[in-house]
Chain A
């Protein structure tokens, strides 16, 4: 099983829609998780951190379900500018210190 798994999408949604992505992780000891946003040919940029059950920042809500080992990202009132790839990130398993990235979920918001 991959350490971090995401549905690659693409998710094609109209402007104003609500969209949710899920991400599953394998390391049950992980305490913190992150969602990064990556635009085409650019570096990943931190969108949200999730340290407990969840986090909310404007239109974005991240939730953590430790029992089922998944994290979700909810985007409300989608904007055209939300079109990007969203990467789920968790600390590496097996005692590794580094962060492990999911393969990303592509979102395309259409007018």
Chain B
């Protein structure tokens, strides 16, 4: 059974139209991450939560926001998607920050028209 679940699997939005991607986990992990992965590139970390402690990467555009209302759920909000934001968005979790491997969801593939 999938333990990190992302919805939707595929999302199509229009240029400038806000979109929200969701991630839920049944692992009770403290840390949740959002990565952006474009074709033939490595996953790029956007931000992560350690419990409620939000950690933004320095080069993450302001257009990207995140919410974590509880341990199980984390959301990625893209306020005004541009064509360059089309990518696979991967959610991952890990138990703590001691450098354990993360468990990934299947990803949401975002298209921007």
> A interface vs B, CB < 8 Å?
30-32, 34, 36, 41-46, 49, 87, 89, 91-92, 96-104
Known: A91-B99, A97-B31, A97-B48. A45 touches B41 (CB 8 A): no
Query: In the complex, A30→B41 CA distance in Å?
Result: 23
Within the assembled complex, what's the spacing in Å between the Cα atoms of A42 and B2?
14
Task: Give the complex CA separation of A42 and B101 in angstroms.
Answer: 17
Residue contact B104 to A30, C-beta cutoff 8 Å: no
B112 beta carbon closer than 8 Å to chain A: no
Contact status A98-B55, CB under 8 Å: yes
Complex alpha-carbon distance, A89 and B51, angstroms? 22
Verify if B21 is at the interface (C-beta below 8 Å from A). no
Interface of A: prevailing SS: loop
Q: Is B82 an interface residue (CB 8 A)?
A: no
| Residues of B contacting A100 in the complex (Cβ-Cβ under 8 angstroms) | 45
User: Given contacts A44-B90, A87-B42, A103-B41, is CB(A97)–CB(B102) below 8 Å?
Assistant: no
Residues of B contacting A: mostly: strand
CA distance A32 to B101 in the complex (A): 9
Assembled-state Cα–Cα distance A104/B41 (Å): 8
Are B42 and A101 in touch, CB under 8 angstroms? yes
Interface string of B82-113 (1 = CB under 8 A from A): 00000010101010011111111111010000
Among B31, B33, B101, which residue has the most Cβ atoms of chain A within 10 A?
Answer: B101
Residues of chain A contacted by B105 (CB below 8 angstroms): 43
- B101→A89 contact, CB < 8 A: yes
Identity of the chain A residue whose Cβ is nearest the Cβ of B104 in the assembled complex: A43
Give Cα distance in the complex from A30 to B97, angstroms. 12
- The complex places the Cα of A91 from the Cα of B109 at a distance, in Å, of 26
Within the complex, the shortest CB–CB distance from B67 to chain A, in Å, comes to: 18
With a CB–CB cut-off of 8 A, which chain A residues contact B16?
Answer: none
